[in-house]
Amino acid sequence: MSLAPDGSAPPSSSTNGSTASGGSADIIEQTLTWGAHNYHPLEVVVSKAQGCWVEDPEGNRYLDMLAAYSAVNQGHLHPRIIGALVEQAGRVTLTSRAFHNDKLGPFLEQLARLSGFEKVLPMNTGAEAVETGIKAARKWGEKVKGVPAGEGEIITFEGNFHGRTTTIVGFSSDAQTRDGFGPFTPGFVSVPYGDIDALAAAMNERTVAVLAEPIQAEGGILVPPEGYLQKMRALCDQHNVLMYLDEIQTGLGRTGKMFCFEHAGIRPDLVSVGKALGGGVFPVSALLADDKVMSVFNPGDHGSTFGGNPLGAAVAMAALDVLIDEGLVARAQELGEYTFKRLRAIDSPHIAEVRGKGLLIGIEVPVSSGVAKPFCKKLMKRGLLCKETHEQVIRLAPPLVIEKSELDWALDQIEAVFTA
């Protein structure tokens, strides 16, 4: 297995010994040898991190402009979150939901009050939270709306990303995401994202929910047209359909509001959150809804061994505290506006469009300039870790704790690469 397919040398090559003994090249080889090849990471090994910065075993430092797909909004190793982790690890970590634990109640109340929803159902990964929402919507459809058993339909969108379970990939429009994994769960229909007439036409008396991302992040940082979410809300009301927004990536401050739907001034019926809810430390996700939907779940209907565990709950409470106490939501808004201004001022034939909200920003590379990945590699050589999404788009999503001076430095590197 070659270590650097593009011919570039990794930051340094360790030659000491037969097992991976600490050097980046050895570690990458070991990972490729023993791990399934379901990812194709950049050729960089992270062995330490702090705030916005990560470091490889050779001591090279990089500014993290991906923040683990927004799971590290609070920055790496935030002392308050790590403190909560360590403190809770010395008390109790797991009880299962067969018993109560003393951290779950406070966490549920905090997240419910923060979001304005009456009930919270805790899970671990994002995909599990989405699955939970799908189950809630289907059961609500059958028990409350009166859709005949097994006939409920959920409307999804072309370009969606909601996770990797077999049900969820079944309604992906991405060929590779689906290829080979069928047969898929029925009951999902798909319409173009941003097209309100297509959505209206897809609604019928069997529709139980519309499942959407308020911005399609994995899809290429696609922001829907102005007024789209408001019209989606109105259609859902008109047809007695649940509006279900997946805020796993857009939520918790990333777009300059606590939840991206606040930009539209509407309130969905179901929301899934994850990623930054665990403060970059521990997987914590949740489904948020009011009683009228959440009450469809009865004891035994749904669950998770680790969901709602006290370690995750303690971490999540600290993660939410940090977002609020450090004003990270307003920070994302301010720094986002500044970043847009600077990016849009770059005069480069390699930038087709800059789009997004807050600190969730996509730079689209025109097809005439090739794909985005080589630009990411050049940025990496300048100490910036970025990842392309969907061939043509470079996503910028740094930790929300990033300093203005650090952001300026990052923008200088981006400008240099795009104007070279």
Ligand X SMILES: *Cc1c(COP(=O)(O)O)cnc(C)c1O
Give which of 333, 366, 372, 371 is closest to 352, Cα–Cα: 366
Nearer to ligand X, 130 or 236 (CB): 130
Cis check: omega of the bond before 366, within 30 degrees of 0: no
State both tokens at 395: 């996503």
Pair 137, 209: CB distance under 8 Å: yes
Pattern of binders to ligand X over 99-138, x per CB under 6 A?
--------------------------xxx--x--------
Q: Select the residue interacting with ligand X from 162, 257, 373, 387 (CB under 6 A).
A: 162
Give which of 222, 161, 267 is closest to 357, Cα–Cα: 222
275 is catalytic: yes
Nearer to ligand X, 263 or 275 (CB): 275
Q: Which of 161, 297, 375, 418 is catalytic?
A: 161
306 is catalytic: no
Nearer to ligand X, 248 or 322 (CB): 248
357 is catalytic: no
Q: Select the residue interacting with ligand X from 64, 131, 153, 246 (CB under 6 A).
A: 246
Q: Select the residue interacting with ligand X from 53, 62, 107, 161 (CB under 6 A).
A: 161
Question: Which residue number has the CB closest to ligand X?
Answer: 126
Q: How far is the CB of 277 from ligand X (least distance, A)?
A: 10
Spatial neighbors of 382 by CB under 8 A, at least 6 apart, are: 413, 416, 417
> What is the gyration radius of the CA atoms in the chain, in angstroms?
22
Pattern of binders to ligand X over 190-219, x per CB under 6 A?
-----------------------x---xx-
169 contributes a contact to ligand X by CB under 6 A: no
Pair 52, 408: CB distance under 8 Å: no
Pair 126, 163: CB distance under 8 Å: yes
Q: How far apart are CA 41 and CA 50, in angstroms?
A: 21
- Residues 323-362 close enough to bind ligand X by CB under 6 A: none
Angle subtended by helix axes 404-419 and 373-381, to nearest 10: 120
- DSSP E strands: which ranges in 197-317? 207-212, 242-246, 270-273, 285-289
Q: How far is the CB of 247 from ligand X (least distance, A)?
A: 7
Nearer to ligand X, 25 or 311 (CB): 311
Q: Select the residue interacting with ligand X from 11, 163, 398, 399 (CB under 6 A).
A: 163
Binding site for ligand X (CB under 6 A): 69, 125-127, 130, 161-163, 213, 217-218, 246, 248-249, 274-275
